[in-house]
C-alpha cells in the first residue's frame, strides 16, 4: 500500500481527497491502457494504486462515487465503431498476488458452497477480451468488452483473423468469449516495421493487439497477424456440458482455438504446482501471459456463486510478480511535481527490462527512500518496466560498497529555492510556494479543469504549449490571452480560437466554489470548496478568516483549518487574488446557502444518480440538486431516499428497487426540479 499514512488515522475529508486523486490517476492510466492502447505505467503500479482506492472506499463508503473506476469494468467506446450491448455483461476479474490470497479465495468458495471444489486452471493471456456471436453456426457479430455492458462492433476486423471460425462444425446459435492477442514473433516484427517507418513502437503485445484490432481499416488488422484463445461460452447448456473443462473441449471441437494448457486441479497444492510450472515457462511461450486464472470447474456452482457488480465470485486471477533486473545507482536527483511534492529519482546504469533500456526510477518520497535505504553506489533490483520509468524493489545489501555516502535530502526547493516542509506530518517533502516554476503548468491545468474553472478546450497539451511560448505563468494570464497567441497552438484555427476565448471569458462568472477549488489548496477538493464558499460567501471573507473560524466549520478540522489560514493569509495568495480580481473573475458565491433553501421535493434527501443523462452532465445535475438542499451520494444503501436513473442504468437501479427506494427517471426529476 502506498498511501501517505494508515487509513485508520485518516479523517473522511482526507480520505476523500486521496480517493479523488487516485481516481484521476487511475482514470488517466485506464484511458491510456484501454482506449489509447498506450500504457503509462506497469501493471503492478496500476494494481497498487487500485488496491489503495478500494481500501479507502471500503473504509469510507460515503466517499464512493458512481463514476469511480472501482464501479466499472473496462474502457471507453471509441468513436467510429458501432456500439454493441452485451446480452450478459462482460465482467472483469479480481486479482490476487500471493499464495495467502489464493488460500483466502479458496476458503471463501468452500464456505459459500459447503465443500471443497475442483478448479479449472488456465493461463491468463495478455490480450484484449472479445465476444463472438453465432447464429445457426454462422458468425454474425464480434465485439470488444468496452465498458462491460457496451462494446465496439469489430466484426469485420475479427473476420480477418484466421483462428476465428466463420462457420462452426455444428449449426449452433451461441455466444463465446475469449482473448485476442498478438504472438511475440508478430509483435517483434511489427515494432521493427514501426521503427523503419518512423512511427512509435508499441509498449507490449497486449497494446499492439488492442491497437490492431480497433482499426477502422480492416486491411491493417489483417496485416498484424493476430490470434485468439476462446475460453467461455455464455450459455453452456447449449453445449451439453457440466464443467468449464468440458466446455473448452467442446468449443475446440466446434472449431475454436482453445489453449491446450488448461488443467483441472483438485486442491491449491496442485494449483500452486501449475503456477510454478508456467511462471518458469512464461518466457518460452510464443504468446504473453501475465498470470494464471482459477475458475470453479462446476458450472452449476458458478451460477450459484454469481457475481458482484464488477467481478464473478467463482474465478480469480493470480498475477505474476513483476520481472526484475539488477543495476547500480549512480545518483539521486530531486524533482518538483505538480502538487509541490519533491520526489527523489534514482539515476542508474542502463539496464534492459523486457526489451527496453531504462536508467531512472522514482522513489516517490523521502520515507520510501529511507525505508528502502537506497544510496548512491547501491546495487538495486528493478521491476519490469516496458517503456516507462521502473520502481526499485529493494537494495541488494550484500553488494553494498564498504563506504556509502549520505542521502543529502534537500531542505529547499530545487526549482524556486524556497524552504521545503512536511505539511501536517505528511511523508512527502513539499514546496508550498504558489509561484514555483516547476508547479506552474500543473496548477494551470488544475485551475482550468472541469471541477474547477471548467474552461472547455484548455487541456494539458494547450497549457504546456502556452507556457512554453511564454504566454502564461499565473492564473490571471489565462484571461489576458489574445486571438493571435491562441492561434499559435497546434490545430487552432479561427473557430477553436473563438471557442476557447469564449470558454475563458465565461469562466469569469463562475461561482466562488469553482475558484476556491481551482486555487489548488492542499486538502481542498470539490466538496470542501463548496462548503467554504457556502459558509463564507466571498473571497474577501476567506482571506480574513482565522484558523479558529475555519476550524469551527463542520468537516474542516484542525489540520485543514491551519492549511487554509496559512494559504489565504500569505502574501503570494493575496497577490494572486488581486490579479484575478483585476481581470474580472467573480469572487462571490452564487449558489444557494443551506439556510436559504426553500422547502422542496429534494431538500434533505440522500440522492443517488445513475445511468446516462440526456439533459445534463452528471455534475450539472448534482450541482442543481445540491442547490436544492439534497445530499448527493455515490452508492445506494438503506439510507438512500431517492435514485434518479438515466438510460442504461445498471446495478444501482436493481439495488434501489430491491430496497424499495423511490426511483425517478430524468424527465420526472426535471419536472420536480421545475416545481
* Cα 475 to Cα 302: distance, rounded to the nearest angstrom: 56
* Cα 70 to Cα 20: distance, rounded to the nearest angstrom: 12
Cα→Cα distances 485→365, 463, 469, 492, 537, Å: 38, 12, 9, 10, 35
Q: For residue 476, give the nearest of 502, 452, 444, 450 by alpha carbon.
A: 444
Instruction: Please check whether residue 75 is in contact with residue 35, taking contact to mean a CB–CB distance below 8 angstroms.
Output: yes
Q: Is 124 a catalytic residue?
A: yes
* Cα angle 467, 473, 479; round to 5: 95
* Cα 287 to Cα 318: distance, rounded to the nearest angstrom: 18
- 3 state SS for 360-427: EEECCCHHHHHHHCCCCCCEEEEECCCCCCCEEEEECHHHCCCCCCCCCCCCECCCCCCECECHHHCC
SS3 346: strand
Question: Which residues, listed in sequence order, are joined to residue 394 by a DSSP beta bridge?
Answer: 381
550 exposure class (CB count in 10 Å sphere: 0-12, 13-18, 19+): buried
Q: For residue 504, give the nearest of 584, 414, 571 by alpha carbon.
A: 584
* Identified catalytic residue from 36, 49, 83, 124: 124
Strands across the sheet with 95-96, in order?
A: 95-96, 315-319, 289-296, 119-125, 263-265
Nine-digit cell at 396? 541488494
| Dihedrals phi, psi of 100, to nearest 5 degrees | -60, -40
- Residues marked active site are found at 124
Amino acid at each position: 500500500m502506498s498511501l501517505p499514512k494508515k487509513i485508520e488515522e485518516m479523517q473522511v475529508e482526507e480520505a476523500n481527497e486521496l480517493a479523488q486523486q487516485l481516481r484521476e490517476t487511475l482514470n488517466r492510466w485506464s484511458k491510456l491502457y484501454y482506449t489509447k492502447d498506450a500504457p503509462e505505467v506497469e501493471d503492478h503500479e496500476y494494481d497498487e494504486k487500485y488496491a489503495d482506492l478500494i481500501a479507502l472506499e471500503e473504509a469510507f463508503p460515503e466517499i464512493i462515487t458512481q463514476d469511480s473506476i472501482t464501479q466499472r469494468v473496462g474502457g471507453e467506446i471509441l468513436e467510429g465503431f458501432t456500439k454493441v450491448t452485451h446480452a450478459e455483461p462482460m465482467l472483469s476479474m479480481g486479482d490476487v498476488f500471493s499464495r495467502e490470497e489464493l488460500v483466502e479465495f479458496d476458503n471463501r468458495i468452500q464456505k459459500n458452497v459447503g465443500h471443497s471444489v475442483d478448479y479449472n486452471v488456465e493461463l491468463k493471456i495478455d490480450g484484449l477480451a472479445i465476444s463472438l456471436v453465432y447464429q445457426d453456426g454462422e458468425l454474425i457479430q464480434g465485439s470488444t468488452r468496452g465498458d462491460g455492458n457496451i462494446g465496439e462492433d469489430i466484426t469485420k476486423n475479427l473476420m480477418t483473423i484466421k483462428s476465428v471460425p466463420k462457420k462452426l462444425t455444428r449449426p449452433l446459435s451461441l455466444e463465446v468469449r475469449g482473448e485476442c492477442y498478438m504472438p511475440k514473433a508478430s509483435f517483434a516484427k511489427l515494432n521493427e516495421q514501426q521503427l523503419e517507418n518512423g512511427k512509435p513502437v508499441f509498449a507490449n503485445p497486449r497494446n499492439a493487439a488492442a491497437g490492431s484490432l480497433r482499426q477502422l481499416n480492416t486491411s491493417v488488422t489483417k496485416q498484424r497477424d493476430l490470434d485468439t484463445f476462446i475460453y467461455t461460452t455464455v450459455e453452456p447448456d447449449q453445449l451439453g456440458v457440466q464443467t468449464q473443462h468440458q466446455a473448452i473441449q467442446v468449443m475446440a471441437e466446434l472449431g475454436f482455438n482453445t489453449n491446450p494448457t488448461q488443467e483441472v486441479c483438485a486442491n491449491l497444492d496442485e494449483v500452486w504446482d501449475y503456477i510454478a510450472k508456467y511462471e518458469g515457462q512464461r518466457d518460452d511461450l510464443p504468446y504473453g501471459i501475465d498470470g494464471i486464472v482459477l475458475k470453479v470447474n462446476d458450472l452449476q456452482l458458478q451460477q450459484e456463486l454469481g457475481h458482484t457488480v464488477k467481478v464473478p465470485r467463482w474465478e480469480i486471477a493470480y498475477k505474476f510478480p513483476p520481472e526484475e533486473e539488477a543495476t547500480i545507482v549512480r545518483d539521486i536527483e530531486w524533482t518538483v511535481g505538480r502538487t509541490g511534492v519533491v520526489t527523489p529519482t534514482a539515476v542508474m546504469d542502463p539496464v534492459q527490462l523486457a526489451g527496453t533500456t531504462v536508467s531512472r526510477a522514482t522513489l516517490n518520497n523521502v520515507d520510501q527512500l529511507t525505508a528502502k535505504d537506497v544510496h548512491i553506489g547501491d546495487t538495486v533490483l528493478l521491476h519490469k518496466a516496458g517503456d516507462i520509468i521502473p520502481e526499485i524493489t529493494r537494495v541488494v545489501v550484500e553488494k553494498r560498497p564498504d563506504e556509502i555516502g549520505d542521502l543529502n535530502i534537500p531542505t529547499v526547493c530545487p526549482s524556486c529555492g524556497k524552504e521545503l516542509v512536511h505539511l501536517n506530518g505528511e511523508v512527502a517533502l513539499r514546496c508550498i510556494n504558489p509561484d514555483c516554476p516547476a508547479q506552474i503548468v500543473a496548477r494551470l491545468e488544475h485551475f482550468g479543469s472541469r471541477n474547477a474553472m471548467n474552461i472547455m478546450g484548455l487541456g494539458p497539451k494547450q497549457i504546456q504549449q502556452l507556457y512554453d511560448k511564454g504566454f502564461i505563468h499565473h492564473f490571471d494570464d489565462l484571461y489576458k490571452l489574445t486571438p493571435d497567441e491562441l492561434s499559435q497552438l497546434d490545430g487552432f484555427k479561427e473557430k477553436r480560437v473563438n471557442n476557447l476565448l469564449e470558454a475563458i471569458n465565461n469562466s469569469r462568472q463562475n461561482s466562488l466554489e469553482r475558484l476556491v477549488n481551482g486555487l489548488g489548496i492542499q486538502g481542498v477538493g470539490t466538496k470542501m470548496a463548496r462548503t467554504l464558499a457556502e459558509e463564507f460567501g466571498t473571497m474577501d471573507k476567506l482571506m480574513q478568516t482565522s484558523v479558529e473560524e475555519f476550524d469551527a466549520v463542520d468537516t474542516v478540522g484542525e489540520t485543514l483549518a491551519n492549511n487554509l489560514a496559512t494559504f489565504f493569509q500569505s502574501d503570494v495568495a493575496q497577490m494572486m487574488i488581486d490579479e484575478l480580481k483585476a481581470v474580472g473573475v467573480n469572487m462571490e458565491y452564487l449558489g444557494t446557502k443551506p439556510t436559504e433553501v426553500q422547502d422542496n421535493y429534494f431538500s434533505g434527501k440522500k440522492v443517488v444518480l445513475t445511468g446516462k443523462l440526456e439533459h445534463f452532465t452528471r455534475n450539472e445535475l448534482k450541482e442543481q440538486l445540491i442547490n436544492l438542499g439534497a445530499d448527493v451520494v455515490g452508492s445506494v444503501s438503506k439510507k438512500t431516499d431517492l435514485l434518479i436513473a438515466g438510460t442504461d442504468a445498471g446495478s444501482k437501479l436493481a439495488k434501489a428497487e430491491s430496497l424499495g427506494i423511490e426511483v425517478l427517471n430524468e424527465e420526472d426529476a426535471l419536472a420536480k426540479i421545475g416545481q
